[in-house]
Chain A
């Protein structure tokens, strides 16, 4: 499916279940996403993470509703399953799409200006370098006997200094590779919205509406 469309679909469904309180529909969404994910050949480790990482906040929410809530255990279960529905729905997108295809789709099919698509894409590819830079900043502070915490202004100050410098370098690098802002582009990899995309999109939305309409708790 077109990655841009898939993202919108997932966001729309997640939004909808945020406003509806339907335990069965939450469970169905989890089950469907679960089956979809199983067919995607993900690693066992990623799979375990998917199941256990949301457990703590989900339990926290559940206990809290029981102790301080006024809506009873039914609502607590809805919140519990809602978190899992978010995470599993999200996984159907993040495990099957990569950021490059998403950027290309948003540029080609959703009229996102190319400077945003490629600028952000280029920056995302710097994530490993950014991680390393944060380590360098912290370590060099340590060498001066200074510990930088998440609340230390200096840590952010230095990160922003790097950002200013890197943004200049990266923008120049892109320009020297032939990227021209606001100029029309041709595409090596064309990503289109096909009629299958549309039917899957509309079909899923309609299916969720029908489920919400016909299944009452």
Chain B
């Protein structure tokens, strides 16, 4: 197989690997649901309930950058994020039909970060691009879907900053820490291939 082809085509094994990473993340985040609910309950009396969503956004959008950063294939980030949402919908997540849409809205930008580098860079730069697109696009979506656009400007900025920090911590710093551990263990299947 020539080099380009092996880079771009998906094998059964890689599909399963992405799906496994997505589901593992989903299962790990499962425990966070109560934090989300507690945060929402705490913040609602002061009218900041939706901020819980922005505080935890980094977790929910982490599978994409993580998978993209580990499995160097076009589509990996999108697939992980979208499958993650599918798992959530079927296991009885909170959001019903919106979960699938969230999967798209979160999956496309996290893929975009790697796509704009032509899938040549899988480093701190592409990871940050991925985070940037994720924050901007998911926030734009929440402007429409969750009525963020009708908030006062000050609150809007605050929510955006919270979301960026959260996504940077989980999608950026944590993902980098994980991949450093993987590099040291020299087990990654696709860095060599």
Which of A65, A71, A156, A162 sits near B174, CB closer than 8 Å? A156
**A196 CB-CB contact with B under 8 Å:** no
CA distance A71 to B148 in the complex (A): 11
Give min CB distance, B32 to chain A, whole Å. 6
**A163 CB-CB contact with B under 8 Å:** yes
CA distance A146 to B151 in the complex (A): 43
Residue of A nearest to B156 (CB): A68
**B155 to chain A: which residues have CB within 8 Å?**
68
**A68 to chain B: which residues have CB within 8 Å?**
47, 151-152, 155
Give min CB distance, A77 to chain B, whole Å. 11
Interface of B is mostly: helix
CA distance A42 to B29 in the complex (A): 26
What is the 8 Å Cβ interface bit string for chain A, positions 147-187, against chain B (1 contact, 0 not)? 00011011111011111101110110011000101000000
Give the size of the chain A interface in residues (CB under 8 angstroms). Answer: 76
**A157 to chain B: which residues have CB within 8 Å?**
178, 181-182, 185
**A70 to chain B: which residues have CB within 8 Å?**
150-152
**B144 CB-CB contact with A under 8 Å:** yes
A60 pairs with B98, CB closer than 8 A: no
What is the 8 Å Cβ interface bit string for chain B, positions 87-116, against chain A (1 contact, 0 not)? 101111011111111000000000000000
Give min CB distance, A164 to chain B, whole Å. 6
Which A residues from 64 to 94 make CB contacts under 8 A with B?
64-71, 75-76, 78-79, 82-83, 86-91, 93-94
**B191 CB-CB contact with A under 8 Å:** no
**B28 CB-CB contact with A under 8 Å:** yes
Residue of A nearest to B49 (CB): A60
Which of A57, A75, A86, A163 sits near B24, CB closer than 8 Å? A163
**A25 CB-CB contact with B under 8 Å:** no
**B37 to chain A: which residues have CB within 8 Å?**
56
A120 pairs with B145, CB closer than 8 A: no
Give min CB distance, A189 to chain B, whole Å. 19
Give min CB distance, A202 to chain B, whole Å. 19
Which of B25, B97, B147 sits near A11, CB closer than 8 Å? B97
CA distance A122 to B83 in the complex (A): 13
CA distance A7 to B188 in the complex (A): 35
B20 pairs with A115, CB closer than 8 A: no
B189 pairs with A60, CB closer than 8 A: no
A179 pairs with B21, CB closer than 8 A: no
**A156 to chain B: which residues have CB within 8 Å?**
24-25, 28, 66, 174, 178
**B152 to chain A: which residues have CB within 8 Å?**
68-70
A159 pairs with B28, CB closer than 8 A: yes
**A130 CB-CB contact with B under 8 Å:** yes
**A213 CB-CB contact with B under 8 Å:** no
**A179 to chain B: which residues have CB within 8 Å?**
12
The 4 closest A-B pairs by CB, nearest first: A90-B96, A60-B49, A67-B47, A90-B97
Q: Which residues of B contact A (CB under 8 A)?
A: 10-17, 19-21, 23-25, 27-29, 31-32, 37, 40-41, 43-50, 52-53, 59, 66, 70, 83, 87, 89-92, 94-101, 144-147, 150-152, 155, 169-170, 174, 177-178, 181-182, 185, 187-189
